[in-house]
């Protein structure tokens, strides 16, 4: 298996050091494996870095509104460390949503970094299930809260990183604020945890196992593919996976040709070009079988 993680250390921590922050998830078999099996000295094969979720001076404003949910704080911790180290000249407001006040990741470190450069870094915690004595903002990061803390939105760049439900919610809030799409960057979400709850996923295929006929180089295989697992996961289970990076349908590394059958692709994860869609190419990391399939992978 592979997984895309945001780098949570700062560029200036390099060379020789790079940090990932992996939250243990109840149903996540990669995070579970990491928590149980990894120890000091474990060897890990990594590629990259890849992706577009970073400050790009030609594209982004130097005034950033960062919106994080849960472990989605990791790329912002990286940027904030770089600002506090004096290596990146930005003003960053972090609106950070957590469920419980005592489960905020990097709480003490973020506070210390903001204290180091208070004119550049501001951190606001928003708690959806607050304790009785919580005096900060409660609930979700919505349009009113963004307006209250970020005030004038024009000319600011917005960066969002969090779980898929948060992305849907934030899209509604940004529409309410009339924020143009070009002002917003979304971190790719990685593998979807519960595809059956995605809008438009057909309930009748839940629990079904389909046959996947695979052509790969000069060989052919038939393997099982569960409706609620991505085709990339089915290929990985069989030891036949193509290269992958983002697992979010965006980078195109796993691009394959579907020659027969139907797949479900969550609209937010459909990063294919229009021509690819017409010609039958799919990204197995973001495609779920709705019937028996024939697929050609690189
Ligand atoms: S791994 Fe990026 S599109 Fe599939």
Residue to probe by mutation, ligand 1, list 245, 277, 281, most atoms within 8 Å of CB = 245
Distance CA(289)–CA(205), nearest Å, equals: 9
pTM: 0.87
Query: Residue 8 has what pLDDT?
Result: 95
pLDDT band at 234 (very low <50, low <70, confident <90, very high): very high
pLDDT at 25 over 90: no
Give the mean pLDDT of the chain. Answer: 93
pLDDT band at 168 (very low <50, low <70, confident <90, very high): confident
Query: Residue 192 has what pLDDT?
Result: 80
Query: Residue 269 has what pLDDT?
Result: 86
DSSP labels, 140-184: ---HHHHHHHH---TT-EEEEES-HHHHHHHHHHHHHHT--GGGE
pLDDT band at 276 (very low <50, low <70, confident <90, very high): very high
**Tell me: the pLDDT tens digits for 184-207?**
999 987 778 789 988 899 999 999
Question: Mean pLDDT over residues 257-282, rounded?
Answer: 94
pLDDT band at 1 (very low <50, low <70, confident <90, very high): confident
**Tell me: the pLDDT tens digits for 91-135?**
999 999 999 999 999 999 999 999 999 999 999 999 999 999 999
Query: Residue 2 has what pLDDT?
Result: 83
Compute, in angstroms, the gap from residue 251 CA to the centroid of ligand 1. Answer: 5
- Give the long-range contacts of residues 228-231, CB within 8 A, separation 24 or more: 228/194, 228/195, 228/196, 228/288, 229/195, 229/288, 230/191, 230/192, 230/195, 230/284, 230/285, 230/286, 230/287, 230/288, 231/256, 231/263, 231/282, 231/284, 231/285, 231/287, 231/288, 231/289, 231/293, 231/295
pLDDT band at 230 (very low <50, low <70, confident <90, very high): very high
Query: Residue 191 has what pLDDT?
Result: 75
Question: Mean pLDDT over residues 47-76, rounded?
Answer: 94
Query: Residue 199 has what pLDDT?
Result: 84
Query: Residue 173 has what pLDDT?
Result: 97
| Cβ partners under 8 Å of residue 106, min gap 6 | 21, 73, 77
pLDDT at 24 over 90: no
Query: Residue 267 has what pLDDT?
Result: 86
| CA of 252, closest atom in ligand 1 | 3
Distance CA(132)–CA(40), nearest Å, equals: 40
Question: Mean pLDDT over residues 25-53, rounded?
Answer: 87
Question: 247: closest CA among 281, 212, 283?
Answer: 283
Residue to probe by mutation, ligand 1, list 48, 246, 281, most atoms within 8 Å of CB = 246
Compute, in angstroms, the gap from residue 241 CA to the centroid of ligand 1. Answer: 12
Compute, in angstroms, the gap from residue 80 CA to the centroid of ligand 1. Answer: 28
Query: Residue 43 has what pLDDT?
Result: 93
pLDDT at 28 over 80: no
Residue to probe by mutation, ligand 1, list 253, 277, 297, most atoms within 8 Å of CB = 253
| Cβ partners under 8 Å of residue 231, min gap 6 | 212, 225, 256, 263, 282, 284, 285, 287, 288, 289, 293, 295
Question: Starting at the edge strand that comes first in sequence, how are the strands of the sheet with 121-127 ordered?
Answer: 121-127, 91-98, 63-69, 157-161, 184-186
- Pocket residues for ligand 1 (CB within 6 Å)? 244-247, 249-254, 283, 285
Question: 184: closest CA among 13, 91, 65?
Answer: 65
Q: What domains can be seen in the chain, in order of their start residue? A: 49-186 (3.40.50.80), 203-297 (3.10.20.30)
pLDDT at 177 over 90: yes
Query: Residue 50 has what pLDDT?
Result: 86
Compute, in angstroms, the gap from residue 35 CA to the centroid of ligand 1. Answer: 25
pLDDT at 19 over 90: yes
Question: Mean pLDDT over residues 8-33, rounded?
Answer: 87
Q: What percent of the chain has pLDDT over 90?
A: 79
Query: Residue 73 has what pLDDT?
Result: 97
């Amino acid at each position: 298996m592979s997984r895309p993680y945001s780098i949570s250390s700062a560029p200036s921590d390099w060379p020789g050091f790079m940090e990932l922050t992996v939250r243990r998830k109840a149903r996540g078999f990669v995070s579970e494996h990491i928590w149980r099996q990894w120890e000091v000295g474990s060897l890990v094969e990594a590629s990259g870095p890849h992706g577009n979720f970073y400050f790009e001076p030609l594209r982004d404003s130097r005034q950033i509104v960062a919106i994080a949910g849960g472990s989605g704080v990791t790329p912002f911790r990286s940027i904030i460390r770089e600002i506090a180290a004096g290596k990146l000249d930005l003003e960053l407001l972090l609106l950070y949503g957590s469920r419980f006040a005592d489960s905020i990741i990097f709480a003490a470190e973020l506070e210390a970094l903001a204290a180091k450069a208070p004119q550049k870094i501001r951190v606001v915690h928003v708690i959806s299930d607050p304790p009785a004595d919580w005096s900060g903002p409660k609930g979700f990061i919505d349009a009113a809260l963004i307006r209250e803390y970020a005030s004038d939105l024009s000319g600011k760049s917005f960066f969002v990183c969090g779980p898929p439900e948060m992305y849907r919610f934030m899209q509604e809030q940004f529409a309410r604020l009339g924020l143009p799409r070009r002002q917003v960057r979304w971190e790719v979400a990685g593998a979807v945890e519960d595809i059956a709850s995605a809008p438009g996923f057909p309930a009748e295929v839940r629990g079904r196992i389909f046959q996947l006929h695979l052509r790969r180089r000069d060989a052919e295989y038939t393997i099982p593919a569960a409706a609620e697992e991505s085709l990339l996961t089915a290929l990985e289970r069989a030891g036949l996976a193509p290269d992958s990076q983002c697992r979010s349908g965006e980078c195109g590394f796993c691009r394959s040709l579907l020659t027969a059958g139907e797949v479900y692709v969550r609209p937010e994860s459909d990063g294919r070009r229009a021509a690819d869609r017409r010609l039958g190419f799919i990204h197995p990391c973001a495609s779920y079988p709705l019937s028996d399939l024939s697929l050609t992978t690189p």
